[in-house]
Amino acid sequence: MNYPEEAYQKIKNSLPNDVCLVAVSKTQPIESIKKLYEIGVRDFGENKVQELSQKAPMMPKDTRWHMIGHLQRNKVKQVLPLVHLIHSVDSSRLYKELLKESEKQQIVVGILFQIHLAQEESKYGFAPEAFREFIQKEVLFDHPYIKPRGLMGMASLTEDNAQIESEFAMLKQLFEETKPEAGAGWKTLSMGMSQDYGIALNQGSTMLRIGSQIFGSRQY
């Protein structure tokens, strides 16, 4: 397999047209990102603010950066001018910081709420019940700068496909449940990575975050 262009094309060609493929470029050199840009790719995912801040100025302005990793509140100021979509809004405190800082900078940014699906304790995100409470308490959907677009989740690291499937199904259900309240902008269900994106697609994913299947293994 020829990485990353051929690998990207192969995945992209297998997807329905309305599914967005985010190339997760964390740890990958800028040359590899540029190769994909040259064949028309615009959506790239990074999980660290520092790395994103270094790479963003090296790419054309129409590159769409996706922040997919845990975001600390003290990095919000730095990340806002760089990103197209933040996938990892995982707490009420982070959400409030985003409201405050986006108003200050007058920057419109899309966000996804990250929901904790996996069995592992280490993953970030709202527990499904906590998210239901959160959206009942907060007025989320008419802010001038912060635009909630949907949900993101990561399945357990397991070979048990039935487990992964049930976690993605749970996320899809929560996404549908929230739709009536959220309105027309609620369109994005970010689920599926290199190892589980087939299952995610079957469960209604609209956005895949794929790294190693596009770039080859990561270069730490």
Ligand X SMILES: *Cc1c(COP(=O)(O)O)cnc(C)c1O
Contacts with ligand X, residue ranges (CB under 6 A):
24, 26, 47, 68-69, 154, 193-195, 209-213
Q: How far apart are CA 220 and CA 51, in angstroms?
A: 12
Whole-angstrom Cα distance, residue 150 to residue 179? 9
Least Cβ distance, residue 43 to ligand X (angstroms): 13
Q: Minimum distance from CB of 68 to ligand X (Å)?
A: 4
* CB of 180 vs ligand X, minimal distance in Å: 28
Min CB(196)–ligand X separation in Å = 9
Instruction: Report the nearest approach of ligand X to the CB of residue 210 (Å).
Output: 5
Looking at beta carbons only, is 120 or 133 nearer to ligand X? 120
Q: Nearest distance from residue 212's CB to ligand X, in Å?
A: 4
Measured from the CB atom, the residue of 80 and 207 that comes closer to ligand X is: 207
Q: Which residue is nearest to ligand X (CB)?
A: 211
CB of 217 to ligand X, least distance (A): 8
Residue 105 vs 212, nearer CB to ligand X:
212
Q: Cα-atom radius of gyration of the chain, to the nearest Å? A: 17
User: What is the distance between the alpha carbons of residues 28 and 35, in angstroms, rounded to a whole number?
Assistant: 12
Closer Cβ to ligand X, 105 or 195, answer by number: 195
Nearer to ligand X, 95 or 215 (CB): 215
Cα diameter, the chain: 49
Which CB sits closer to ligand X, 109 or 210? Answer: 210
Q: How would you write the chain as a 3-class SS string?
A: CCCCHHHHHHHHHCCCCCCEEEEECCCCCHHHHHHHHHCCCCEEEECCHHHHHHHHHHCCCCCEEEECCCCCHHHHHHHCCCCCEEEEECCHHHHHHHHHHHHHHCCCEEEEEEEECCCCCCCCCECHHHHHHHHHHCCCCCCCCEEEEEEEEECCCCCCHHHHHHHHHHHHHHHHHHHHHHCCCCCEEECCCCCCHHHHHHCCCCEEEECHHHHCCCCC
**Looking at beta carbons only, is 90 or 97 nearer to ligand X?**
90
